[in-house]
């Protein structure tokens, strides 16, 4: 079939919206009509050329929601008409990783996914006869996409696509990092570096679990009002801090954060996030994605004295199990998504959506097909 997609032909160049050819689903695969997709900073990162797994040409996008149109041979859990959220972290429920119950990082199709291919090593997308790579197994910057069955969460049919698409990455990543990865307890003091599409969901997750102080750190003063609405109790703009930021945060938390989260992708901030944690027990979770070649460092003494440095992908969520629950939380009014979606646009305006992100004017931009 023919469909419309925003193609990343080359690193560092704007996306080009054009017609593409899409082959039907093969065994274990599902054809999805994407109804809406969010723009995540990770798409921008890959487009920039800094991602070692960035392969071009490709159809980016990993924060979608849509409807199943057709299923390939052997697909048992989905049928046409089902509403779904594509998962860049699938859940096969049979690989060693899934069975371990210690991680959400299902590895069943990770190798081909990282090569921009479907599990059989080929692509379903092409444009003027030239194959186009998939991205993160999802490619939601296409109006139609083919996704493995194990990488689709079935969601309730009454959930609005233009809101719950954000659960495909940002909402789950932020809230999940708090509840599934760090397991923040009520009464904890929390510091969040970066108050964008991910960090604001960390804030909302911290409030949900009953954190005490929730301190947000961002260079953009415009982020303060939104973060307070989501539960932030103190705002720190590093530009306004005289002296050492880490010392300031340790003082503000009365000895150090019980939990900190880095939601920017900046290795200097990752170090500060670790070092502002409380001696003996503070846990710092890295969520931000840093470019190829970047490395983190700290004095080992920071860890010897009881701080722990951990990371979180997709908020530690098991997609097929947890995403439908998070959709329920939204539909039940337990989490706020609407206020974070500051801009919606047609696919033709997707580059303007990324410009808004770069200028710090949007929290989440969403393309509605
Ligand atoms: P965003 O652009 O919406 O937000 C980034 C925020 O960081 C902005 O508010 C910006 O003002 C702030 N910021 C930038 N530099 C700063 C600095 N030096 N000090 C303080 N604040 C600063 O991005 P996002 O969509 O929220 O994504 C954040 C990061 O998380 C990215 O690196 C993205 O790739 C990553 N990410 C990781 C996962 C995961 O599963 N681990 C999932 C989604 C996104
Ligand atoms: N290809 C990148 C890695 C990027 C990365 O860490 N991705 C996160 C999700 S970011 C979503 O916005 C992730 O899930 N990582 C686990 C995995 O298996 O990719 C790079 O820098 O190499
Ligand atoms: Zn993302
Ligand atoms: Zn698995």
Taking only the tens place, the pLDDT of each residue in 188-215 is 999 999 999 999 999 999 999 999 999 9
What SS3 class is residue 260?
strand
352 is catalytic: no
Alpha helix ranges (H) inside 231-318: 245-252, 267-275, 300-304
User: Could you give the count of Cα atoms lying within 13 Å of 337 in the half-sphere of its Cβ?
Assistant: 28
- Per-residue pLDDT, 234: 98
277 is catalytic: no
Superfamily of domain 2-170+316-368: Medium-chain alcohol dehydrogenases, catalytic domain (3.90.180.10)
* Residue ranges in the chain whose pLDDT is less than 70: none
132 Cβ inside 6 Å of ligand 1? no
**Residue 136 Cα: closest atom of ligand 2:** 19
Number of Cβ atoms within 10 Å of the Cβ of 308: 14
CA distance 201 to 194: 11
Q: How would DSSP label each residue in 126-182?
A: EETTEEEB--TTT-TTBSEEEEEGGGEEEE-TTS-HHHHGGGGTHHHHHHHIIIIII
* Cβ(52)–Cβ(124) below 8 Å: no
- Per-residue pLDDT, 122: 98
* 116 to 65, 134, 151: CA distances (angstroms): 20, 4, 14
For residue 224, which of 192, 178, 256, 263 has the smallest C-alpha distance? 192
CA distance 7 to 13: 10
CA distance 127 to 106: 31
- Per-residue pLDDT, 351: 98
What length does the chain have? 369
- What residue ranges line ligand 2, CB within 6 angstroms? 40, 42, 51-53, 89, 105, 110, 169, 289, 313-314
- Per-residue pLDDT, 104: 98
Is this prediction's ipTM beyond 0.90?
yes
CA distance 4 to 103: 36
CA distance 221 to 223: 5
- Per-residue pLDDT, 48: 97
Number of Cβ atoms within 10 Å of the Cβ of 42: 22
User: Could you give the count of Cα atoms lying within 13 Å of 104 in the half-sphere of its Cβ?
Assistant: 24
Number of Cβ atoms within 10 Å of the Cβ of 128: 9
In terms of DSSP bridges, do strands 125-127 and 16-22 run parallel, antiparallel, or are they unpaired? antiparallel
CA distance 293 to 298: 17
* Cβ(191)–Cβ(257) below 8 Å: yes
The answer to whether domain 182-311 has CATH 3.40.50.720 is yes
Task: Pull the structure tokens for residue 203.
Answer: 């804030």
Return the domain boundaries, the chain: 2-170+316-368, 182-311
364 is catalytic: yes
Task: Pull the structure tokens for residue 28.
Answer: 């274990």
**Residue in 37, 83, 106, 172 annotated catalytic:** 106
For residue 285, which of 163, 193, 170, 147 has the smallest C-alpha distance? 193
For 193, the enclosing helix (H) or strand (E) is strand 190-193
263 is catalytic: no
363 CA to centre of ligand 3 in angstroms: 13
- Per-residue pLDDT, 26: 98
Task: Pull the structure tokens for residue 191.
Answer: 């510091």
CA distance 315 to 171: 9
């Amino acid at each position: 079939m023919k469909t419309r997609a925003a193609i990343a032909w080359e690193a560092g160049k704007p996306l080009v919206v054009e017609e593409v050819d899409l082959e039907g689903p093969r065994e274990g695969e599902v054809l999805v009509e994407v109804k809406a997709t969010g723009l995540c900073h990770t798409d921008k990162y890959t487009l920039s050329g800094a991602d070692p797994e960035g392969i071009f040409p490709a159809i980016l996008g990993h924060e979608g929601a849509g409807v199943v149109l057709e299923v390939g041979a052997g697909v048992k859990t989905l049928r046409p008409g089902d509403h779904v959220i594509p998962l860049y972290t699938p859940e096969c429920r049979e690989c060693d990783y899934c069975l371990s119950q210690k991680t959400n990082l299902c590895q069943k199709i990770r190798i081909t996914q990282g090569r921009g291919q479907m599990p059989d090593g080929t692509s379903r997308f092409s444009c003027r006869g030239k194959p186009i790579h998939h991205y993160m197994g999802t490619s939601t910057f296409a109006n139609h996409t083919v996704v493995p069955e194990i990488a689709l969460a079935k969601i309730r049919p009454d959930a609005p696509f233009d809101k719950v698409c954000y659960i495909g990455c940002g909402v789950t990543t932020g809230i999940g990092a708090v509840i599934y990865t760090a397991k923040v307890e009520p009464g904890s003091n929390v510091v969040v570096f970066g108050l964008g599409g991910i960090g604001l969901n960390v804030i909302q997750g911290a409030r949900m679990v009953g954190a005490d102080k929730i301190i947000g750190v961002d260079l953009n003063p415009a982020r303060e009002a939104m973060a307070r609405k989501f539960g932030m109790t103190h705002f720190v703009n590093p530009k306004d801090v005289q002296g050492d930021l880490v010392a300031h945060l340790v003082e503000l938390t009365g000895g150090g954060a019980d939990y900190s989260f880095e939601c920017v992708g900046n290795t200097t901030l990752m170090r500060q996030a670790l070092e502002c944690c409380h001696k003996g027990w503070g846990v710092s979770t890295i969520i931000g994605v840093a470019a190829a070649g970047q490395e983190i460092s700290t004095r080992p003494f920071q860890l010897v004295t009881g701080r722990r440095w951990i990371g979180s992908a997709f908020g530690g969520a098991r997609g097929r199990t947890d995403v439908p629950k998070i959709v329920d939380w939204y539909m039940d009014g337990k989490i706020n998504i609407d206020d974070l979606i500051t801009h919606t646009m047609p696919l033709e305006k997707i580059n303007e959506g990324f410009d808004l992100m770069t200028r710090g004017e949007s929290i989440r931009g969403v393309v509605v097909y």
